[in-house]
Amino acid sequence: MSWQAELDELKRREALAEKLGGEMRVRRQKDGGRYTIRERIELLADAGSFHELGKIAGMAEYDGNNDLADFVPSNFVFGRARLNGRQVVISGDDFTVRGGSADATIKEKHLSAEAMANALHLPLVRLVEGSGGGGSVKTIETTGRANVPGVVGWDMVVANMGLVPRVALGLGSVAGLGAAHLAASHYSVMLKDKSAMFVAGPPVVERIGQKLTKNELGGYKIQLRAGAVDHAVDTEEEAFACARRFLSYLPQSIHELPPRSIPDGGQADDPKRRVDWLIDAVPRDIRKIYKMRPIVEALVDQGSFFEMGRAYGKSVITGLARLDGWPVACMASDPYSYGGCWTADTCRKVTKFVDLAETFHLPIVNLSDCPGFQVGLEAEESGVIKEGVRAMSAIWQTTVPWCTIIIRNVFGVAGAAHTVGGRFTTRYAWPSGRWGSLPLEGGIEAAYSADIAAADDPDAKLAEITERLEKLRSPFRSAEAFWIEEIIDPRDTRALLCDFANTAAPLRTTGPSSHAMRP
């Protein structure tokens, strides 16, 4: 006896699921310039690699003969796929079915997506639109009661943050639980002009007297500056490319090591490549600033720098890169923002970034030019010292190999966070390096105020003291006392960094870090 009738019924239900929320709602999605969830998965995953689970889960209606009369699929699609040949879990909200809200959600599917990533040690890419399976006021009517707030399965989200790479793409208006999922990621992307992110949308916020559009309330510019998301792009295709590239630097889970890589069809960048213009990169005049990003790009493998969080905590540049093919976490001071001083936002950015590196066993390269913490009333009101202590503690807790290049300034408590205290780390200084408890500028007038005031010519006395101290703070004096291990020719920096990456490669270990990363 054949089971063909049951297989035909299965195909019928699968065909109904593929219609999503129906022709009208799918057309509305496309008229808004957005892909459907199934189109998104097809564009993101390697061709033909997506294997879906729970495709025919949804809300069914039956006639008097208990035959299927109508079917609405759940508004969450997930399964396994490949990205650049590597297995991942992909999950996403279907906005055409009740806007991705709880009324059309089967929570078990959300839980299973997280559980699959956790059990199989696979990266998770989440495509978020709507409330991400969160609540709706209509739920009160459909269930006949009001629920006590709670997020079932959030423990698995937290566990996955410390286990597997978690990427979130905000591809439309994202609110409530959807916004939480977008934020609970190692890397997140929004669409410019087509996506917004908020705890509660404009209709709710208007009740407290703030009449705002979606972009005014939670557009990409706001969320980038707030550090809630890492990046924004113009198209969904660009967002998918960002996800693929981010994952290329990371292992499948903490139980593996990040893979070494050479560009497809290309030649590996010469690890001994000498960058001649670096000898002139830092101006002798300390009042002049310079661009750090070209220095970063010149030192790492060509085209490999992948910046994260550019619009947030701007005085430190953070991103992933490769050195002789080895993935590393790279952070570098940016003199164009507060002269490289660490603000409270910068400290939070550094904390998250070094936690990411520690979680996934990425060696850290730090190009340091930090004159200290931000000072002034704004700094004190932001709690900069508290955030600074947290950042320093995160740095001190790292166990991954660490290499610092002192480019120019290293001063004060923030300057002390240029490397890890209490253990050996590789460190070099350029001849332009300057360090101390405080910069001489401004500090001389305070420390030598009596001598300057008593002089016949205060300006000449100040110049005399300045010249004397400038000679004493020469980096060569520090090297004499072994306070700095090695002063190098800037043109040799790439070769030394590649040597560091190759030396560090066999020292990396797998497994959980001493402190699991939090969202």
User: pLDDT (tens digit, 9 = 90+) per residue, 49-86?
Assistant: 999 999 999 888 888 888 888 888 999 999 999 999 99
**Is residue 101, in this structure, part of any structural domain at all?**
yes
Q: Is the pLDDT of residue 322 over 80?
A: yes
Span 302-317, mean pLDDT? 96
Whole-number mean pLDDT of the chain?
90
Could you tell me if 73 and 196 lie in one domain? yes
Alpha-carbon distances of 320 from 45, 248, 304, 332, 483, rounded to whole Å: 22, 10, 8, 11, 29
Could you tell me if 243 and 281 lie in one domain? no
Helix (H, G, I), strand (E, B) or coil at 74: coil
**pLDDT tens figures, 393-441:** 999 999 999 999 999 999 888 888 999 988 999 999 999 998 886 665 6
Could you tell me if 90 and 199 lie in one domain? yes
**pLDDT tens figures, 130-164:** 875 555 556 666 666 665 565 778 999 999 999 99
**Is residue 443, in this structure, part of any structural domain at all?**
no
Cβ-in-10-Å burial (0-12, 13-18, 19+) of 470 comes to exposed
268 confidence band (pLDDT: 50, 70, 90):
confident
Could you tell me if 12 and 83 lie in one domain? yes
At residue 476's C-alpha, the angle toward residues 471 and 482, to 5°, is 130
**Is residue 268, in this structure, part of any structural domain at all?**
no
Amino acid at the residue 55: K
User: What pairing do the DSSP bridges indicate for beta strands 51-53 and 76-83?
Assistant: antiparallel
**Is residue 465, in this structure, part of any structural domain at all?**
no
3 state SS for 399-457: CCCEEEEEEEEEEHHHHHCCCCCCCCCEEEECCCCEEECCCHHHHHHHHCHHHHHHCCC
Taking alpha carbons only, the member of 425, 317, 296, 421 closest to residue 363 is 425
Q: Is the pLDDT of residue 265 over 60?
A: no
Angstrom distance (rounded) from CA 113 to CA 91: 7
**Is residue 205, in this structure, part of any structural domain at all?**
yes
Could you tell me if 56 and 169 lie in one domain? yes
Is the backbone of residue 445 left (phi > 0), alpha (psi -120 to 50) or beta?
A: alpha
CATH number, domain containing residue 378: 3.90.226.10
**Is residue 264, in this structure, part of any structural domain at all?**
no
Could you tell me if 430 and 363 lie in one domain? yes
263 confidence band (pLDDT: 50, 70, 90):
low
Span 375-395, mean pLDDT? 94
pLDDT at 400: 95
Q: Is the pLDDT of residue 1 over 80?
A: no
pLDDT at 353: 97
Span 196-206, mean pLDDT? 90
Phi, psi of 131 (to 5 degrees): -90, 5
177 membership: H or E segment, kind and range: helix 177-183
**How many structural domains compose the chain?**
2
Amino acid at the residue 147: N
C-alpha radius of gyration, the chain, whole number: 27
**Is residue 269, in this structure, part of any structural domain at all?**
no
pTM: 0.91
Could you tell me if 133 and 225 lie in one domain? yes
User: What pairing do the DSSP bridges indicate for beta strands 76-83 and 306-308?
Assistant: unpaired
Q: Is the pLDDT of residue 264 over 60?
A: no
**Domain span at 327:** 276-438+476-507
Span 350-373, mean pLDDT? 96
**pLDDT tens figures, 498-507:** 999 999 999 9
pLDDT at 452: 82
Could you tell me if 192 and 51 lie in one domain? yes
Span 278-296, mean pLDDT? 95
Please tell me the number of Cα atoms within 13 Å of 86 on its side-chain side: 22
pLDDT at 48: 95
Angstrom distance (rounded) from CA 178 to CA 170: 9
pLDDT at 122: 98
Q: Among 175-184, 229-238, 279-288, 431-440, where is mean pLDDT lowest?
A: 431-440
Neighbours of 73 (CB within 10 A): 26
pLDDT at 514: 79
Residues 222, 198 contacting (CB under 8 angstroms): no
Among residues 248, 263, 292, which one ends one of the domains?
Answer: 248
Could you tell me if 287 and 230 lie in one domain? no
Could you tell me if 381 and 482 lie in one domain? yes
Cβ-in-10-Å burial (0-12, 13-18, 19+) of 211 comes to exposed
Could you tell me if 281 and 197 lie in one domain? no
User: What pairing do the DSSP bridges indicate for beta strands 231-233 and 306-308?
Assistant: unpaired
Taking alpha carbons only, the member of 244, 229, 154 closest to residue 187 is 229
Amino acid at the residue 24: M
The residues near 133 (Cβ < 8 Å, ≥ 6 apart) are 75, 76, 93, 100, 101, 102, 105, 107, 110, 177, 178
Amino acid at the residue 135: G
Letter string b/e over residues 397-409, b meaning 16 or more CB atoms within 10 A of that residue's CB? ebebbbbbbbbbb
Could you tell me if 208 and 333 lie in one domain? no
Q: Is the pLDDT of residue 320 over 80?
A: yes
Place of tokens 């780390």: 425
User: What pairing do the DSSP bridges indicate for beta strands 326-333 and 434-436?
Assistant: unpaired
**Is residue 266, in this structure, part of any structural domain at all?**
no
Q: Is the pLDDT of residue 8 over 80?
A: yes
